[in-house]
């Protein structure tokens, strides 16, 4: 467009200091306030939806106790309505809040056992008034705002405000009586065995209920020590964790020291910090990166972008057992020359080279990437010796709807699936405003061209 080019459109954005968070995100679901210990003269909102009242003075040497609630301060009774978060802070400590009503209040006290109020702050979170990054609101400064909320200790990872893609369990070695929340003692959560862990212990995580000896659906296995983390990218069905006091080369799989079943479909609460026997729920993350050998469809609700690395292999290098994927060789890839490809919605139609709707095309050499998105359920990659002839080398059929596994690092003839992503990123020539993209940030490159320089009328 004249003196600028659209260089990039991004699905994520980071607000800059002084910018209204509500002008960056569709909605702001998590706020991070840094405690400063300032009084209410340090207040930078002009909206009457925010306010600050001093009732005392913050100590310069002692920490302060806070409550985040849905009600204003009610006097000496200390009854602050529903308490969402509470804790003790010193200067520069963070207060992370989410899942708040439109109007919320932060009350600071000298300690947790008295009603010795220091300061009350009223916040408005609905974006009907500006929420400016780095603005001061009395004793706190808004230092981060985020569209995706991350559960805090004690919050249910399966709450409506969270989208959990990855679970992190911390190994504790406790026995099966160690359950910190009786609400989660449910048939989906089971634990058997004892706490006779002889660290390091061997752990096997599986999504198959055929018992600890079954190795057909292993999500993770290896030696772990006390306080080690086990990361599981899993959704929708039960998972199983087995601990053994045996050496990896000599496991008595019929006799785990402890076995447990967990359920990640969120049909039951799954609180952060919850203890289940020998593990604690240490973290639940909104993002996940599938590991090699894992079905991308078991990590994400849907897979909207695929990155294939061109390998130049023939169809004997094919690692899908589903009939929804196929590969046909019609020639041989050159070991010295690049190959031309088309990604289309139709199978190869012969010498006419009419391959239906062409979504992507280009030239690749070994180790180059082919990035595709916005594809129909069935899509095809056709490789040719060059772009001017119909000298077909290979045709690959892909299925993208997740009704068949899409395993990371699997080979499909001449390509290997090396990345899969839930959020698609527009590729050159694609409309940044297309239905498959959520654009939060635009990057323009300055070119200095005149206004006649428009590449698409």
Tens digits of per-residue pLDDT, 134-182?
A: 999 999 999 999 887 778 887 877 776 677 777 889 999 998 877 665 4
Of 137, 31, 134, 34, nearest in space to 91 by CA:
34
User: For residue 183, what pLDDT band results from cuts at 50, 70 and 90?
Assistant: very low
Q: What angle do CA 322, 328, 331 make, to 5 degrees?
A: 155
Q: Residues 51-72: what's their mean pLDDT?
A: 92
pLDDT at 276 over 70: yes
- Tokens linked to 41: 């003269």
- CA nearest neighbour of 203 among 236, 172, 181, 165: 172
Residues 44, 51: contact at Cβ < 8 Å? Answer: no
Q: 316: Cβ–Cβ under 8 A, 6 or more apart, which residues?
A: none
Per-residue pLDDT at 80 exceeds 90: no
Residue 77, pLDDT > 60, answer no
Diameter of the chain measured on Cα atoms:
86
Are 441 and 13 contacting, i.e. CB atoms less than 8 angstroms apart? yes
Q: How high is the pLDDT of residue 449?
A: 87
Residue 99 is predicted with a pLDDT of: 82
Given the structure tokens 């609905």, which residue do they identify?
Answer: 126
User: Residue 18: what pLDDT?
Assistant: 92
Q: How far is CA 427 from CA 311, 364, 384, 430, 436, in A?
A: 21, 16, 22, 6, 12
What would the mean pLDDT of 201-211 be, rounded to a whole number?
Answer: 86
User: What single-letter DSSP state applies at residue 255?
Assistant: -
Q: Is the pLDDT of residue 317 over 70?
A: yes
Mean pLDDT of 207-227: 85
User: Does residue 393 or residue 188 have the better pLDDT?
Assistant: 393
In which band, very low, low, confident or very high, does the pLDDT at 214 lie, cut at 50, 70 and 90?
A: confident
pLDDT of 369 above 90: yes
Tell me the range of 29-38, 155-164, 373-382 where mean pLDDT is highest. Answer: 29-38
Tokens of 370: 């082919």
Whose tokens are 């990057």? That residue is: 443
Task: Report the C-alpha gap between 396 and 415 in whole angstroms.
Answer: 9
Contact 415, 311 (CB under 8 A): yes
Q: What is the C-alpha separation between 284 and 423, in angstroms, rounded? A: 19
pLDDT of residue 185: 47
Between the ranges 28-42, 243-257, 383-397, where is the mean pLDDT highest? 28-42
């Amino acid at each position: 467009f004249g003196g600028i080019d659209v260089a990039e459109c991004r699905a994520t954005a980071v607000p800059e200091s002084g910018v209204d968070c509500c002008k960056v995100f569709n909605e702001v679901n998590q706020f991070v306030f840094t405690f400063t210990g300032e009084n209410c003269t340090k207040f930078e909102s002009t909206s009457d939806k925010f306010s600050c009242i001093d009732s005392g003075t913050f100590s310069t040497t002692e920490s302060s106790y806070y409550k985040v609630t849905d009600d204003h301060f009610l006097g000496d009774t200390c009854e602050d309505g529903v308490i969402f978060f509470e804790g003790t802070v010193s200067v520069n400590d963070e207060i992370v809040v989410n899942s708040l009503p439109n109007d919320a209040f932060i009350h600071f006290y000298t300690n947790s056992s008295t009603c010795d109020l220091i300061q009350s702050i009223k916040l408005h979170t609905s974006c009907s008034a500006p929420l400016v990054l780095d603005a001061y609101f009395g004793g706190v400064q808004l230092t981060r705002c985020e569209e995706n909320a991350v559960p805090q200790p004690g919050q249910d990872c399966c709450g409506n405000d969270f989208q959990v893609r990855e679970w992190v369990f911390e190994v504790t070695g406790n026995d099966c009586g160690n359950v910190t929340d009786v609400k989660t003692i449910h048939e989906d959560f089971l634990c058997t065995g004892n706490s006779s862990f002889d660290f390091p212990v061997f752990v096997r995580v599986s999504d198959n209920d055929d018992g600890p000896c079954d190795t057909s659906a292993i999500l993770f296995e290896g030696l772990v020590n006390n306080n080690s983390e086990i990361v599981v990218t899993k959704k929708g069905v039960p998972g199983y964790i087995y601990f053994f006091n045996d050496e990896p080369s000599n496991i008595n799989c019929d006799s785990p020291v402890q076995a447990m079943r967990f359920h990640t479909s969120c049909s039951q609460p799954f609180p952060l910090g919850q203890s289940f026997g020998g593990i604690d729920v240490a973290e639940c993350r909104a993002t996940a990166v599938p590991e090699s050998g894992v079905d991308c469809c078991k990590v994400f609700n849907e897979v909207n972008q695929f990155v294939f690395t061109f390998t130049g292999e023939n169809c004997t290098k094919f690692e899908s057992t589903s009939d929804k994927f196929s590969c046909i060789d019609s020639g041989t890839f050159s070991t010295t020359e690049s190959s031309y490809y088309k990604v289309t919605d139709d199978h190869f139609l012969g010498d006419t080279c009419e391959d239906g709707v062409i979504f992507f095309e280009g030239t690749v050499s070994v180790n180059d990437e082919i990035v595709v998105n916005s594809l129909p359920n069935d899509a095809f990659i056709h490789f040719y010796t060059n772009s001017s002839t119909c000298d077909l080398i290979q045709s690959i059929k892909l299925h993208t709807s997740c009704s068949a596994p899409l395993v990371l690092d699997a080979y499909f003839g001449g390509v290997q699936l090396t990345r899969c992503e839930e959020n698609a990123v527009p590729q050159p020539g694609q409309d940044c405003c297309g239905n498959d993209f959520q654009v939060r940030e635009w990057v323009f490159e300055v070119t200095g061209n005149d206004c006649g320089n428009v590449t698409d009328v």
